[in-house]
A and B are shown apart, each in its own frame.
Chain A
């Protein structure tokens, strides 16, 4: 299970200080999410496209990710054009597509895609380990960050367990279909997965305890701000200013 697929690479964005990336990410994302102006949203989207380009992400993987983002918006495209009142654009039988509804859908779609691009190219270009470290600098509670790190660390392990159990089921001739039998098998499967994780958590805790765990992980590497980090901060500051002034 490859999770942080975008975090490997050697583009300028990948080498930036993750603290700077998080600090730039939050204002642009919040600003974009709350904007209700089509021009602002378009500029944000253009910025997102540029950032993804700098990170070297013009690939099929990015399109797949964006497709997922847009699937969630189908609900809106199915309802909003009909429910927003305003000047009709098109008539389908008794239903009228309103111009305001379509432009509202368009606005939301542009904003969602812009934010998705910010996410892959800013926090997405750092590993989860360094993002966790950066979160500590941004005053996220230590225990929460430690738990987030453990959670991330053990996804791969649990996913392995999941795949092994699934292989075992298939080897014994299990073929999922729409039946109570399938539901029962998957329920026991789920129960077993949770039991295994519970038992593993005891072993992990004992191993940690033996190594002197006291609720946090000591850090060896530290971040240093370099010139490119400052230049990037200024650029993003300018970008935020442009969006606000529009």
Chain B
């Protein structure tokens, strides 16, 4: 999920940077040295995990996992996702440096919201792990696709069809990410629950 360079107006790009900077700032404020290392490696894993392609018929789809990263990184999720997108912008030329703020916002805000909603549910055992996982994976991609479409729509009325198309194209991903998050979360709860319950 990326917005290319050269589409969005200055106000959207600026707002993206402002909110993302705030998110990163909050994350940096109280981070301990060991959390710095942990978040950095979490981000590397997030980056590598996007290499995993799930085959769907003749095509395949790659994982986003931003809700999952939200659960693991908590308040540092803006940093974890932002540095991965910065590297992508510098090395692979998709996304880009002017859209870094808005792209970070699109991925990280849903991750943070998922952390705030689902992490208490998980540690309080109020919902079955499977359901928490699915909701977390599904809603994070849902809200990211929604934010992406909304920010595309700020470029003008003529971008509305493109915005709708982008949202529709991401629906299979919501289901796949939901499923993967469910199972991966169950696996982690069994093998290393201290990674999640903080």
Contact among A115, A186, A188, A191 with B54 in the assembled complex (CB-CB below 8 Å): A186
Total interface residues on B, CB under 8 Å, equals: 73
Contact among B33, B91, B159 with A83 in the assembled complex (CB-CB below 8 Å): B159
Interface residues of A in 131-173 (CB under 8 A from B): 131, 141, 143-144, 146-152, 154-155, 157-159, 161-162
- The answer, yes or no, to whether A75 is at the interface (CB within 8 Å) is yes
Considering the complex, give the chain A residue whose CB is closest to the CB of B84: A151
Given A72-B94, A83-B160, A144-B28: A155 and B40 interface contact (C-beta under 8 Å): no
Main secondary structure of the interface of B (DSSP, over half): helix
- Are A187 and B187 in contact, with the CB atoms below 8 A? yes
- Are A158 and B158 in contact, with the CB atoms below 8 A? no
> In angstroms, how far is the closest chain B Cβ from the Cβ of A152?
6
Q: Which residues does chain A contribute within 8 Å of B42, judged by CB atoms?
A: 194, 197-198, 201
- Are B45 and A183 in contact, with the CB atoms below 8 A? no
Q: Which residues does chain B contribute within 8 Å of A41, judged by CB atoms?
A: 6
Output the residue of B57, B87, B93, B165 with the most chain A CB within 10 A: B93
Q: Which residues does chain A contribute within 8 Å of B159, judged by CB atoms?
A: 79-80, 83
Interface locus among B104-112, B114-122, B138-146, B176-184: B176-184
Output the residue of A32, A111, A152 with the most chain B CB within 10 A: A152
Q: Which residues does chain B contribute within 8 Å of A184, judged by CB atoms?
A: 183
- Are B52 and A186 in contact, with the CB atoms below 8 A? yes
- The answer, yes or no, to whether A59 is at the interface (CB within 8 Å) is no
Contact among A80, A115, A191 with B6 in the assembled complex (CB-CB below 8 Å): A115
Interface residues of B in 32-46 (CB under 8 A from A): 33-34, 36-45
- The answer, yes or no, to whether B86 is at the interface (CB within 8 Å) is yes
Q: Which residues does chain A contribute within 8 Å of B56, judged by CB atoms?
A: 178
- The answer, yes or no, to whether B173 is at the interface (CB within 8 Å) is no
| Count, A-B residue pairs, CB within 8 A | 239
- Are B83 and A213 in contact, with the CB atoms below 8 A? no
Chain A: interface residue count, which band? 35 or more
Contact pattern, B 63-99, Cβ under 8 Å of A = 1, otherwise 0: 1010010001000000100011011011111101111
A34 to B2, CA, bound (A): 18
A178 to B33, CA, bound (A): 42
- The answer, yes or no, to whether B31 is at the interface (CB within 8 Å) is yes
> In angstroms, how far is the closest chain A Cβ from the Cβ of B20?
12
Given A115-B6, A182-B55: A69 and B195 interface contact (C-beta under 8 Å): no
Tell me the A residues contacting B by CB distance below 8 Å.
3-5, 25-26, 29-30, 32-34, 41, 65-66, 68-69, 72-73, 75-76, 78-80, 82-85, 101, 104, 107-108, 111-112, 115-116, 119-120, 123-124, 128, 131, 141, 143-144, 146-152, 154-155, 157-159, 161-162, 176-178, 182-184, 186-195, 197-202, 204-205, 208-209, 213-215
Tell me the B residues contacting A by CB distance below 8 Å.
2, 4-7, 9-10, 13, 24, 28, 31, 33-34, 36-45, 47-49, 51-52, 54-57, 63, 65, 68, 72, 79, 83-84, 86-87, 89-94, 96-99, 157-162, 165-166, 169, 176, 179-185, 187-188, 191-192, 195
